[in-house]
Chains A and B, each alone.
Chain A
Amino acid sequence: MSALASTQPRLGWNRLRLNVTTKQALFGYAILLPTLAIIVIFRFLPMLQAFYISLNEYDLIRPPKFIGLENFIDLLRDPLFLNSARVSVTYVVFSCVPVWILSLGLAVLFNRQIVAKNLFRSAAFMPVVMPAVVNAVVWTFMYHQDGVVNTILGWFDLDPIPWLRSSKWALWAIIIIGIWRATPYYMVIFLAGLQAIPHEYYEAAQIDGASAWRQFRHITLPLLKPTTLLVMVMSVIVAMKVFAVPLIMTGGGPADSTRVLPLFIYQTAFEFFKMGRAAAMSVFLFAAVMVFTLFQIQLFSHGEE
């Protein structure tokens, strides 16, 4: 009797629970669905399709023709592509390394007690606020032969530089802009990392009489390692994507000296309508992004004891 009484409601309860969990699961699926649809259609499929298109010759007019790896073989023999890859690598290396050092330096600086800290920090942060296209337009103006950059060089008795008109200097002009714009961005990320380090560590070090440099070297740097890894990966990937600034400022010139890979992909696809070839280039770019990410993660996890 008592057994019956206790099983009866429990059966009902179980059935109800099952319904509730199914209902909840369905709701879970339903609210994920729009996101899933957009990500799959506009991100995931294109990623797979990029590989497939790279095996074809396709000019948007005639139907795609399968040609195997020909695009890749052609690219590796194409001096323009090899030049573009070299330009991209130069840009990435020489814009990222200074950004890491400067952004960490700024973060350490702004993590101290400073009068009017917010004001200075906002001023330092302003490059992030400027839209990329505006950035390109304003710097083109500043790099003018008689412009403000050369005027400032003149204060130090330096000769004016023909920034954007010389194949020797144009890439450096663009690298400087990259550094200017990226540094405060990563400064913010480093600052967040610094603020997460407990104060007690520094207090203990001070009691032991550790110098500021030793504190930085033995407390700050090791504890900032995850942040540093992230900044390195992010900044490299962002630098690999640079596009608007070279397109607007130089169009890739003079003499192809600023034709970074994304710009070359864009021009191959949408000015010369060689879709297969452009896709093959983007496969290279994709591989570079992946390799770099994995390589840096490897590097850092290896150093961990």
Chain B
Amino acid sequence: MLSRFFRHRHAFITYPLLFLIGFIGLLPYYWMVSCSFKTNDNMFLVPLQWMPNPINWNAYGDAWRAQDFTRYFLNSSLVAIAITFGNLLLASLAGYSLSKFRYFGRGILFLLILSTMMLPLEVTMVPLFLIVKKLNWPNTYEGLIVPFLVEGFGVFLMRQYLQSIPNELIEAARIDGASELRIYAQIVMPLCKPALAALGVFTFREAWDMYIWPLIIVTKDSLRTLPLGISLFMSSFGTAWDQLMAVAAIGTLPMILLFFFLQRSFIQGIAITGLKE
């Protein structure tokens, strides 16, 4: 181990550099969590307090009682899970259709879907709001979920992935008399597991992060998602930094869990956004 360490010619530069990178990457996390356990009087001491002393155990409970964070958390979970499953189902179906079936207009339809891939929500938010308003969807879960049930990127990804699956497999199943839906569910989908996992984690992360759209269409407290709740808390919290950090830590927790338990897919989900050819 040690010999390997020193065999590296630049070890004396590389490892300090790595520690510096790690420090920069982790500092906001450390600061968020440690300050959620500090008392408010100790937040801005000179010199700064790096370890909370005395430990303040109340921030999480106090913050949770100040606003209906349980509700926000459940709303965020519901919306993110619904959007994730919607994307997995619809993008895989569409990708399957666009890669393995021949029909009139397939190329044009694919281009139409692709053309929306690079389109930022910021460009379309005004008309999108007017459409959702016409559907009477402001302040509903439909309004939060349905417009995001599928994205051009997911369709593109699944199509690319499915193209690598041999047609013979599908043909053989057809000859055996399997129905089309069964072929999709029992033969094609199991082969797509890595792509689905990556797309799923990627979508969940984006959905959990969603801020601008809920901000536009949600005004009722009972429909607020966690990002809305956190930013609302911030604009009204006064100087209760401990509680604000506690709320922020709770909002990050699902992402941390996702990262640690599905690390491969999490990173794969980002690497695949680099496969656009």
Residues of chain A whose beta carbon lies under 8 Å from any beta carbon of chain B: 21, 24-25, 27-29, 31-32, 34-36, 38-47, 49-50, 53, 106, 109, 112-115, 120, 122-142, 144-148, 151, 180, 184-185, 188-189, 191-193, 226-227, 230-231, 234, 237, 240-241, 243-244, 247-248, 261-262, 265-266, 269-270, 275, 278-279, 282-283, 285-286, 289, 293
Measured between beta carbons, the chain B residues less than 8 angstroms from A131 are 208-209, 227, 251-252, 255
* Distance to closest chain B CB from A61 (angstroms): 12
Nearest to B76 among chain A residues (CB) is A131
List 22 A-B residue pairs with CB atoms under 8 Å apart, sorted by A's residue number. Answer: A21-B102, A28-B106, A34-B93, A35-B91, A35-B113, A46-B124, A46-B128, A49-B130, A120-B18, A124-B25, A125-B259, A129-B252, A134-B32, A137-B234, A148-B27, A151-B47, A188-B267, A188-B270, A231-B274, A240-B122, A269-B126, A289-B120
Main secondary structure of the interface of B (DSSP, over half): helix
Contact B93 A44 (CB under 8 A): no
Answer yes or no: B55 CB below 8 A from chain A CBs. Answer: no
Residue from the list B44, B150, B277 in contact with A144, Cβ < 8 A: B44
Nearest to B233 among chain A residues (CB) is A137
Residue from the list B93, B263, B271 in contact with A189, Cβ < 8 A: B271
Answer yes or no: B51 CB below 8 A from chain A CBs. Answer: no
Measured between beta carbons, the chain B residues less than 8 angstroms from A261 are 122
* Distance to closest chain B CB from A99 (angstroms): 14
Residue from the list A32, A114, A146 in contact with B93, Cβ < 8 A: A32
Contact A285 B118 (CB under 8 A): no
* Distance to closest chain B CB from A304 (angstroms): 14
Nearest to B90 among chain A residues (CB) is A35
Answer yes or no: B192 CB below 8 A from chain A CBs. Answer: no
Answer yes or no: B123 CB below 8 A from chain A CBs. Answer: yes
Tell me the complex Cα distance, A27–B94, Å.
11
Size band of the B side of the interface? 35 or more
Nearest to A265 among chain B residues (CB) is B122
Contact A151 B231 (CB under 8 A): no
Residue from the list B21, B22, B149, B274 in contact with A227, Cβ < 8 A: B274
Contact A31 B184 (CB under 8 A): yes
Contact B31 A38 (CB under 8 A): no
Contact B31 A47 (CB under 8 A): no
